[in-house]
Structure 1
Amino acid sequence: MTDAVKPTVQTTLVNLTIDNVPVQAPKGTLVVDAAKRAGIDIPVFCYHPKMKPVGMCRMCLVDIGLPAVDRATGKVQTDPQGHPVINFGKALQTGCTVEVAEGMVVVGYTEKVQKARQDVVEFLLTSHPLDCPICDKGGECPLQNLTMAHGSSDSRFIFDEKIKLAKHVPLGELIYLDRERCIQCARCTRFQDEIADDPVIGFEARGRSLQIVTYSEPGFDSIWSGNTTDICPVGALTTSDFRFGARPWELQASASICTHCPVGCNTTLNTRREAKAGGEMVVKRVMPRQNEDVNEIWLCDKGRFAHHYAAKDDGRLTRPLVRKDGKLVATTWEKALALVAEKFDAAGRGLLTLAGGKLTNEDFYHLAGLARARGGKAVLDSRMAGGDLTAQVGLSAGSNLVALGAGDAVLVIASDLEEEAPLWWLRVKQAAERGVTVVVANPRRTKLDRHATHTLRYDYGYEAALVTALIGSFSPKRADLPAAVQALIRNKDVKDAGQVIAQANNLIVFYGSDGTGLAESTALARACANLLIGTGHVGRANNGLVAVWDKANAQGGWDMGLRPSADLAADLGAAKVAYIVAADPAGDSPALAEAVNAAEFVVVQDIRLSATAELADVVLPAAAFTERDGTFTSGERRVQRLHPAVPAYAGLRGDFAVTAQIAARLGLAQEKLLATKVFNQIAASVPAYAGLSIAALSEVREQWPVIGRGDVYYGGTTYDNKQGLGVQLPVSGDSPALTFEQPAEPVKVKGLKAVAVTRLYDRGTTVTPSTVLGTRLPQTFIVLSVEDADKMKIEPGQKVKATLNGVTAEAEARIDNSLAKGVVLAPRSLGLAIDSPCEITVKK
């Protein structure tokens, strides 16, 4: 990343002139960026403000002059009028590789410059197919725009000399390459190398035969591949779900928030009315929306492509269903709601509400209110703890990972960050590149290890013990600590990491759920909070605790008063009425499916007929996230708003509105029309949200780099943010105390121990409808250590039978040479009966 990406870091300003306009820019800024900040366009193809300059395309050629300096005196020479004498070089220079200097004069409108740019465009067009009418990039194409601005009105193009290359080359399942359109700018390959750290594509051959190839199997095997289509300045790279699907000028744009992980990436949903959808408005693609505090201008492929679960298709629920003679049959809303209200009324304290983590804050607020009013229990569908602690010692208002630099530290523990929250992985990686000390603690190897200053290993179950040892490495000795903690304190790697953490100017701690259940997560969150308190890294910006939640809006659920269940299977099985909203416990785990079956009466509220819904007595349909308004709270405690992009399918309403209709039949008044009114109630009654307003969430400011649809050549086709950057909540203001707690002993088993891990691609209800993801969606698998696989004579890819908690499933065996003997990784939401560490039996 160039210094131009973070100009606020620079303090020394230099004065220069660009096209007769006086400009001030931070020292180290590139000429093209200084011009852009001053509102002056210097055209580029290969340059991108998020990547290192390479000067390949030569489109940014400008005439650059510097003040003449007297060699004897060292002073700037002046003409008779007292103006500095400017010496221009004989050759034009690339504005993307030259840094600004005091007194510099940049000219981009001379005949020499214009001719150079015209020549570059002409050269590119001689190898270009000129198939704009059928090109997906047409209408948002930098080559089109810059041809109109700088191309010649005459053509010397000889058709017979045109080179012909393959036009529909699948680099992978998601990205297609048109080799004739490629202008060899290397934006895509540089992005994969510099930004994504996934150098799985590159150039092959030379000259006009130079072409992009994939080095991975399967092809273009990266979770960041979709971003290359955003920054491609031509139509060489297109996505498999959008190519030939619509013209950019036909699309409407609506602001939204990604619902897949706790980062809260800002997105834009592009929609169009489709004839083949019966004239309905449909989502054609998901694009990044710039928010430099959150996802910058990037999206992972799950956020970009896994939106089809909200599509208006035959799989969507449109009418309530009730069980009759053992089968679910359609009924009216009045009958369904009357039956549900009757059962709720009779259940009393036996009402269990299970709310999924992709609901909005407004949904949680109503669900929690209804549960309290009936004396029931409101449970958050999550296996992580600590939402109360993040309110005390979490990131506070004004925090931004980009602000971290040398002297600061980041601890990532119990999290495979790229799998659980990809954009946080990206931003922590970038922090490491800026000199931030990154400490990664995990029992196995993760991708972030490549960028870690310190890498700590521990046995699964000893997460809290390790953090306690970090505290002990710089605190007075305590004789009452367990032997395992004492041993860790004596470990040199732990000592070194502990000292760095203690001395850091700023410290952010990310804790995840890699290998933990709720009990382990509770202990880990408490230990991490103690670490922050003990080092004084609380109550100020760029310091605090971040939960890498297993669900997108789990933080919002905690804030609204919901809590995870210590024994969800028992709670579900004992419920007189289980009200399950936007959650699929039966699909997540066979053991939970049995628990759902054991409940006396089950009401499921969802957008599709999930595995849990198939077991229900009543199924209530609801609107999808693409069809509704609401707010989410990210893991960084940033409250953000999503907007409806398409009309609600079949007149359906948001979950809060459905809940309000049930509540009305029970004599409880809840807002059932506008999510904004519910948010106002939240702001008035939830202390952490006091003073918030929709207007505050909608505020915007100038961001750098400048991304705009009018100059897509510069930053790509990311949407600029005109709908709101959100508001980061302040911490509670309490004065948390450091409390040493004895770490619990890990779960003991006789044989192999299975631990639950999160994979970016699972087979949950929000992912499987997106068939475009193809083989990226895995079948059930487990991961064995090399020693255990050798002992059982199991080969990679072999089918085995895995038994957990009394439930057997067929799974593919994978092997990880960094995994400790006796441990088996069991991915969540892939058909395995696991939510916390347990014994596993593996047989061929």
Structure 2
Amino acid sequence: MAKMVTLSIDDQTVTVPAGTLVVDAAKKIGNDIPVFCYHPKMEPVGMCRMCLVEIGRPVMDRASGQPVLEPDGKPRIQFAPKLETACTTPVSEGMVVLTENQKVTAARKEVLEFLLTSHPLDCPICDKGGECPLQNLTLAHGPGESRFLFDEKMRQQKHVPLGELIFLDRERCIQCARCVRFQSDIAADPVLGFSQRGRSLEIMTHSEPGFDSIFSGNTTDICPVGALTTADFRFGARPWELKSAASLCNHCPVGCNLTYNVRREARSDGKSVIKRALPRQNEAVNEIWICDKARFVYHYTESPERLSTPLVRRNGELTPASWDEALEAAAQGLRSAGEKLVVLAGGRLSNEDLFNLHALAAARKGRAVLYSDMAGGDLTAQVGLAPGSNLADLGAGSVVLVAASDLHEEAPLWWLRIKQAAQRGARLITLGARPTRLEAFASLRLRADYGQQAQALASLLEPAGLEGDFREAAEALRSAENVVIFFGSDGVELAESEALARAAADLLVHTGHTARPNNGLVGVWPHGNTQGAWDMGFHPQAPAELAHSLAGAGGVLLAGADPAGDDPALAAALEQAGFVVVQELFLTESARRADVVLPAAAYTEREGTYTSGERRVQRFYPVTPPRANARPDFVIAAQLGTGLLTDVEGRAAALVMQRIAAQIPAYAAISYQRLAETQEQWPIIGRKDLYYGGTSYENTQGLGVSLPLPEMVSLPAPKAYAPAPVPAGALRLVRFSRLYDHGSLVRHSPLIGQRLAARAVWLHPSLLVQLGVQPGEEVEITAGDEILRLPAAADENLPLNAAGLPRSAGFPTPNVPWVVVRVPAPVPSGQANKE
């Protein structure tokens, strides 16, 4: 337990852990010392001098080492001759801090006067107006007038694009360096810096493309003035016009807490629209940060291409229909499917949606299939993170092993938090076929070829037969106080994913790292609620097996997934199905092949729950009213259930959760009331003092509930796995994830358009040289009987024996795990312009 220190701040006694900074100690008793450069999540630098206070310390007797006492028995206090910065000064026993006196008041006034010498007088049009720390602190502590001449103000460039997402107003910048330090120290993307000196100092970007960081939007939250703004909010609204609603990000398994700011607009015909997305504090999940995908991709929910009416196929064409007509046609078609019904659902649906969809499959004795290429959800339910876990608690004595995962692309906030754990002293071990950004912070980097990653992980069970880094890793796992294992799907197909998850679970069980906080297994799932889908009874199938299931199905109910858009082979299989019903936001490739299309509500238009990869159930709330004719997926499933003579709850999401709690043991204690519970968090964020933590929101809507683990671990029997051989001259085909993929949601978010991953085959630069191909030039890919022509792209991190294809790019998934890459034959003369 940390040593405690007692001091006095403005005659108020406070006791805090040793090492606490004066500014934070004051915060704990409600004393808001003003700051600009300081932020509780970053190391202090003492640049702005706004936090100057007067500090006295007990006079110590050198002989006895005890405080010198005054006649009244109190310690004699000696004040420093100059004011000190509260943001760089740690507390000490008996310290006396004065934050409100004549010296401090004068200092604050002078600091603000100096900062305003070149600050523009554009508060009425500044985006930060109404939540501007400089404006607020000037009113509270600043001078009423300036001694400096208006004509001597610096005139600097305004509306400077730092890339396409963030804009800089150089006149407003007060050089606090918060943005520079965040990018360098927290995001590990040092793409911002200072240029020039003195009054000409200005922020600039070092990267190409500009501001090349997936965490760039956080700089606009912590900027204490209106210097940095996001492209979607600049000149968009005033803070006092906005209403806030709590939500969650469902793009990856982290489950970041969000707040959406909403207002009604005349240009939107009086409808409520989302103006911006901001972090909502949850120190056990995303702290106060979010990635740019969470911040900007929500625009798909307001896309004009959203489905606006049900569609029913008549005479071979999808035509508009009423909900009653569409539901009747859908129910009739699914009834005729009998036990040959396949319910295929994606991991972006809520628990309530998935529970109701599974109920339909179970009632018809059909199959509930999860659209995913990762296995292991049954294992994480047995040996996942125990309640009370928090990645922020991992440090010296802990081991984190990340296998077959590029967390920076797949789960950015986990990348951030695991990096921080390594910096606190946790031992980070990575295992994969290629280098990733996380390896820069790893103490051991284990390399295993694609197809061999599961076997490499399983080998750590027998350290006696290992050498080198593998032996050291095995011993580290056994001797660690805490062990957390993350497993992903980088270059891993479904069968290997199952073997990989089983190897990780066996490691945790055999080393005794289960059923206690900060120990367990975490799946780096491809979507936000894949773990919830497993819990609700959905299981994945390999592409070839899934194609067989779809082709032979009497009826298919498809929700939250677009297999036809991802893989032409699945598109062909879907066309062979007897009857197809699709619940969707957009007219996807799968929806184009459907017999009935039912428009679904976006998650911003309803409430529900997601279960994160850490097995934390969290609640999200309605942000905007649902679009006309759009309905939540759980409601659609319930209405289909009526036509199928099946009792499915559809009146309210909370009532569906009651059924989940009654039928699924792990969720027995979950209720919407419990999910809304909160507790005090540190640092104190989101109150009136926006200068301290930025514009992140305080969490008053719920911190989530971690699911319990079963009392007994009962792992299923392991399945034999051996990687398929690759013929001589061929390359192993690997699939990998990119943060900005070509999924249907990202594609309908125009702001991210310039950041989409290239639709290409990725090869090591040496292979491109051997082929005589430049990046961007077309190559021919042969996989069995399938031939593709794609642009080539260079990735120096890929092994020389592999060819990479990004997921969600509309490429077929070949039935063989290898490809042959050649330069395509020249087009015969006279055919170059033929379609």
Q: What's the TM-score, normalizing by structure 1?
A: 0.95
Match of 1:789 in 2: 768
State the identity as a percent: 55
Counterpart contact for 2:740–2:752, Cα < 8 Å: no
Match of 2:178 in 1: 187
Match of 1:613 in 2: 591
Residue 304 of structure 1 aligns to a residue in which SS?
helix
Partners of 2:430 and 2:374 in 1: how far apart? 19
Match of 1:17 in 2: 8
User: Which among 466, 485, 488 is matched to residue 490 of structure 1?
Assistant: 466
Whether 1:274 and 2:265 are equivalent positions in the alignment is yes
1:504-653 alignment, distance < 5 Å? 504-566=480-542, 567-653=545-631
* C-alpha spacing 1:835/1:682, structure 2 compared with 1 (3 Å): farther
Whether 1:173 and 2:164 are equivalent positions in the alignment is yes
Residue 521 of structure 2 aligns to a residue in which SS?
strand
Partners of 1:540 and 1:522 in 2: how far apart? 24
Partners of 2:480 and 2:63 in 1: how far apart? 48
Residue 254 of structure 1 aligns to a residue in which SS?
strand
Counterpart contact for 1:175–1:240, Cα < 8 Å: yes
Alpha-carbon deviations, 1:359-399, whole Å to 9, x = none?
A: 00000000001001011111111111111111110001111
Match of 1:65 in 2: 56
Deviation, structure 1 residue 790: 2.3
756-765 or 813-822: which moved more?
A: 813-822
| Structure 2 counterpart of 1:610, one-letter code | T
Deviation, structure 1 residue 81: 0.7
User: Which among 748, 759, 762 is matched to residue 780 of structure 1?
Assistant: 759
User: Which among 604, 624, 633 is matched to residue 655 of structure 1?
Assistant: 633
User: Which among 287, 310, 323 is matched to residue 313 of structure 2?
Assistant: 323
* C-alpha spacing 1:178/1:803, structure 2 compared with 1 (3 Å): farther
Q: Tell me, which stretches of 5 or more residues in structure 1 are unaligned?
A: 1-9, 475-488
Deviation, structure 1 residue 651: 4.5
Whether 1:397 and 2:397 are equivalent positions in the alignment is no
Partners of 1:710 and 1:809 in 2: how far apart? 58
Residue 338 of structure 1 aligns to a residue in which SS?
helix
Residue 363 of structure 2 aligns to a residue in which SS?
helix
| Structure 2 counterpart of 1:550, one-letter code | P
Alpha-carbon deviations, 1:249-297, whole Å to 9, x = none?
A: 1111111110100000000111110111111101111111000000000
Counterpart contact for 1:509–1:528, Cα < 8 Å: yes
Deviation, structure 1 residue 709: 3.6
Counterpart contact for 1:45–1:185, Cα < 8 Å: yes
1:139-158 alignment, distance < 5 Å? 139-158=130-149
Counterpart contact for 1:383–1:517, Cα < 8 Å: yes
| Structure 2 counterpart of 1:669, one-letter code | D
Counterpart contact for 2:784–2:815, Cα < 8 Å: no
Partners of 1:470 and 1:526 in 2: how far apart? 13
Partners of 1:819 and 1:154 in 2: how far apart? 61
User: Which among 421, 426, 434 is matched to residue 436 of structure 1?
Assistant: 426
Partners of 2:621 and 2:719 in 1: how far apart? 44
Match of 2:113 in 1: 122
Partners of 1:370 and 1:703 in 2: how far apart? 41
Whether 1:374 and 2:364 are equivalent positions in the alignment is yes
* C-alpha spacing 1:330/1:739, structure 2 compared with 1 (3 Å): closer
Whether 1:702 and 2:680 are equivalent positions in the alignment is yes
Deviation, structure 1 residue 126: 1.1
Alpha-carbon deviations, 1:563-589, whole Å to 9, x = none?
A: 111321111121121111011111112
Match of 1:748 in 2: 726
Counterpart contact for 2:337–2:578, Cα < 8 Å: no
Alpha-carbon deviations, 1:659-709, whole Å to 9, x = none?
A: 111110111121122000000110111011012211111110000000024
Partners of 1:505 and 1:244 in 2: how far apart? 51
User: Which among 36, 41, 52 is matched to residue 45 of structure 1?
Assistant: 36
Partners of 2:742 and 2:279 in 1: how far apart? 24
* C-alpha spacing 1:350/1:38, structure 2 compared with 1 (3 Å): same
| Structure 2 counterpart of 1:139, one-letter code | G
Partners of 1:352 and 1:739 in 2: how far apart? 26
Counterpart contact for 1:779–1:811, Cα < 8 Å: no
Residue 708 of structure 1 aligns to a residue in which SS?
coil
Residue 450 of structure 1 aligns to a residue in which SS?
helix
User: Which among 657, 672, 688 is matched to residue 650 of structure 2?
Assistant: 672
Counterpart contact for 1:517–1:836, Cα < 8 Å: no
User: Which among 254, 258, 263 is matched to residue 263 of structure 1?
Assistant: 254
Match of 1:289 in 2: 280
Match of 1:86 in 2: 77
* C-alpha spacing 1:205/1:808, structure 2 compared with 1 (3 Å): farther
Deviation, structure 1 residue 71: 2.0
Counterpart contact for 1:288–1:718, Cα < 8 Å: yes
Whether 1:718 and 2:718 are equivalent positions in the alignment is no
Deviation, structure 1 residue 804: 4.6
* C-alpha spacing 1:806/1:422, structure 2 compared with 1 (3 Å): farther
Match of 2:333 in 1: 343
| Structure 1 counterpart of 2:548, one-letter code | A
Deviation, structure 1 residue 742: 5.3
Match of 2:832 in 1: none
Partners of 1:274 and 1:779 in 2: how far apart? 36
Counterpart contact for 2:341–2:555, Cα < 8 Å: yes
Partners of 1:700 and 1:799 in 2: how far apart? 54
Alpha-carbon deviations, 1:779-805, whole Å to 9, x = none?
A: 302221233222212223333343456
CA RMSD, 1 decimal:
1.5
Deviation, structure 1 residue 818: 3.3
Counterpart contact for 1:756–1:837, Cα < 8 Å: no
Counterpart contact for 2:733–2:818, Cα < 8 Å: yes
Q: Tell me, which stretches of 5 or more residues in structure 2 are unaligned?
A: 824-835
- Aligned residue pair count: 820
Match of 1:734 in 2: 712
